[in-house]
Structure 1
Amino acid sequence: LEDVNRAGELVLDSINPDARVVWGSKINPALDGKIRATVVVAGVESPFLMAEKKSVTVTKPAASKTTVTKISSKKKA
């Protein structure tokens, strides 16, 4: 768990000291001594993480005519 604590320290050193951090760990024998880390961030207001809002202009007009062909599976008598 020493490596897990070090990973947590790296995250804490990279964020605002006032941030609320909740973390946990679980030992998974299938990882064969390796560490898998997942970081979930919420409530971030940073221009580096926020996507730029872009407007979209559509120049192609909608279809002016729609044709529907009904196909019947009934046999004519």
Structure 2
Amino acid sequence: MVRQEQNVDDVQSPFDGHSDTVKPEWIDFNGHFNAGFYVVCFDDAIESWMDFIGLGRPHREVHAVTTFSAQNHVTYLREVKRAPT
């Protein structure tokens, strides 16, 4: 695998290479986005970031390496509610 050099000036800021839709099963009985699924969403977004910077699954498989999140810090700034249907 040939590594492509990336100039820091070329990196999107903020990174917008990932989007997702809140799934119905992620909504709690109050109609809010369940707190536990914030980490799921961030994990998916991190995987998109890793792909973008060349450290995604193909890189990890070729080099027999992996990543692991030892800590997560989530700050809830406001409610996220289910969109009206």
| Higher alpha-carbon Rg | 1
Q: TM-score, normalised by structure 1?
A: 0.26
Greater fraction helix:
2
